[in-house]
């Protein structure tokens, strides 16, 4: 977010005038969210998880693939194994940190893809209206007739296990939801005066959608999409947990939870660790999304 440059410029340029007036909408939202303690703590936790996953090879961790038959299922706090070892004797700390790479990718990518596709579909449906709206929205209704977990599992069950298939199936689950939100927001903006003015001055449909409407509808859709990341993380890991996503020996939180399930009688707390990571990421995204929503609700 471009909070600081904007506020610096506005402060410098308008020192004489009241600062509050000069600040744009997004700058105000940015300031509000930075002041929200819960959101900032969540953002820091997420940033730490992201960075450690990204920089995993340079953190001096053990090899996440290197197992040892004589060092299986060590307890948390064992020397050289700060978080214990898994059922094949691999270092849990390394696998949890490396696991963030795949887990975050398969959890977040579907929402990004669905955001792009769903926003485009919703924008077109809402702006063009008529038969195109009916066609798009009735198709969306069909997908609403399936509980989302069932739809995700049905599609990836039919497509077969694999990372790409799991991303595809989750994208299909989220596109209808985002399309619905985008369509209703667009319909609300479509008849406003500034759109009317753009139309009167001869702008084409594509230009109006891209230049005049996108900026006005993107905010609410974005907030909705950030709220979906939490669901997506849980579902993506869930697919791997069922054996429909990542394949062994890749470190991924859902799959780790699955393979460690047999170890709950020997070393229960090590077996539960991957779930803690999923929980942490999911709850942070949820709280951050809530914070963003209330920060964007400037009227209150």
Partner 1 sequence: MLAYIARRIVYVIPIVISVALVCFLLVHITPGDPLVAVLPADASQELAAQLRVAYGFDRPLPVQFGLWLWKAVNGDLGHSIATGRPVLTEVMRAVGNTVTLAIAAAMIGFSLGLFFGLIAGYFRDTWIDKVATSVAIAGVSVPHYWLGMVLVIIFSVQLNWLPAVGAGPGGSGSWGWDWEHIRYLILPAITTSVIPMGIVTRTVRALTGDILSQDFVEALRAKGLRETHVFRHVIKNAAPTAMAVMGLQLGYMLGGSILIETVFSWPGSGLLLNSAIFQRDLPLLQGTILVLALFFVFLNLMVDIAQAAIDPRIKRS
Letters for 73-112 (x = contact with partner 1 by CB under 8 A, - = none) are ----------------------------------------
Please choose, from the candidates 225, 249, 246, 227, the residue with its C-alpha nearest in 3D space to the C-alpha of residue 237.
246
Residue 36 beta carbon to partner 1: minimum distance, rounded to whole angstroms:
14
Backbone angles phi, psi at 147, to 5 degrees: -60, 140
Under the binding rule (CB under 8 A), the answer on residue 24 touching partner 1 is: no
Contact 109, 76 (CB under 8 A): no
- Report which DSSP code applies to 209: I
CB within 8 Å of 89: residues ≥ 6 apart: 67, 68, 69, 70, 71, 72, 73, 74
**Smaller CB separation from partner 1, 218 or 242:** 242
**Smaller CB separation from partner 1, 30 or 99:** 99
Under the binding rule (CB under 8 A), the answer on residue 265 touching partner 1 is: yes
User: Using CA atoms, how far apart are residues 23 and 44, in angstroms rounded to an integer?
Assistant: 26
Chain CA centroid to CA 22, Å: 32
Residues 141-200 that bind partner 1 (CB under 8 A): 141-143, 145-150, 153-155, 157-160
Please choose, from the candidates 251, 233, 224, the residue with its C-alpha nearest in 3D space to the C-alpha of residue 108.
233
**Smaller CB separation from partner 1, 32 or 199:** 32
**Smaller CB separation from partner 1, 206 or 269:** 269
3-state class of 149 per DSSP? Answer: helix
The one segment of 19-27, 92-100, 122-130, 234-242 that binds partner 1 by CB under 8 A: 234-242
**What residue ranges bind partner 1 (CB under 8 A)?**
138, 141-143, 145-150, 153-155, 157-160, 230, 234, 237-238, 241-244, 257, 261, 264-265, 268-269, 271-272, 274-275, 278-279, 282-283, 286-287, 290
């Amino acid at each position: 977010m471009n909070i600081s440059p904007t506020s610096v410029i506005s402060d410098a340029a308008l020192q004489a005038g009241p600062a509050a007036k000069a600040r744009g909408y997004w700058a105000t939202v940015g300031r509000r969210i930075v002041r929200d303690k819960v959101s900032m703590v969540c953002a820091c936790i997420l940033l730490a998880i992201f960075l450690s996953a990204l920089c995993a090879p340079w953190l001096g961790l053990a090899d996440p693939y290197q197992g040892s038959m004589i060092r299986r299922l060590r307890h948390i706090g064992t020397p050289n194994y700060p978080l214990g070892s898994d059922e094949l004797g691999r270092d849990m700390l390394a696998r949890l940190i490396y696991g963030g790479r795949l887990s975050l990718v398969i959890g977040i990518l579907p929402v990004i893809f669905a955001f792009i596709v769903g926003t485009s579909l919703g924008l077109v449906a809402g702006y063009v209206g008529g038969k195109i709206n009916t066609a798009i929205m009735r198709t969306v209704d069909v997908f609403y007739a399936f509980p989302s977990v069932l739809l995700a599992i049905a599609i990836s069950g039919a497509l077969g296990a694999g990372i790409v298939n799991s991303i595809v199936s989750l994208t299909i689950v989220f596109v209808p939801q985002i399309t619905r939100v985008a369509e209703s927001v667009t319909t609300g903006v479509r008849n406003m005066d500034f759109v009317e003015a753009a139309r009167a001055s001869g702008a084409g449909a594509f230009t109006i959608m891209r230049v005049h409407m996108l900026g006005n509808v993107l905010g609410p859709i974005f907030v909705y999409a950030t709220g979906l990341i939490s669901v997506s993380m849980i579902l993506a890991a869930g697919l791997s947990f069922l054996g429909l996503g990542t394949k062994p020996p890749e470190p991924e939180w859902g799959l780790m939870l699955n393979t460690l399930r047999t170890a709950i009688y020997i070393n229960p707390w090590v077996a539960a660790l991957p779930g803690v990571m999923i929980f942490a990421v999911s709850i942070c995204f949820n709280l951050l999304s809530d914070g963003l929503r209330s920060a964007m609700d400037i009227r209150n």
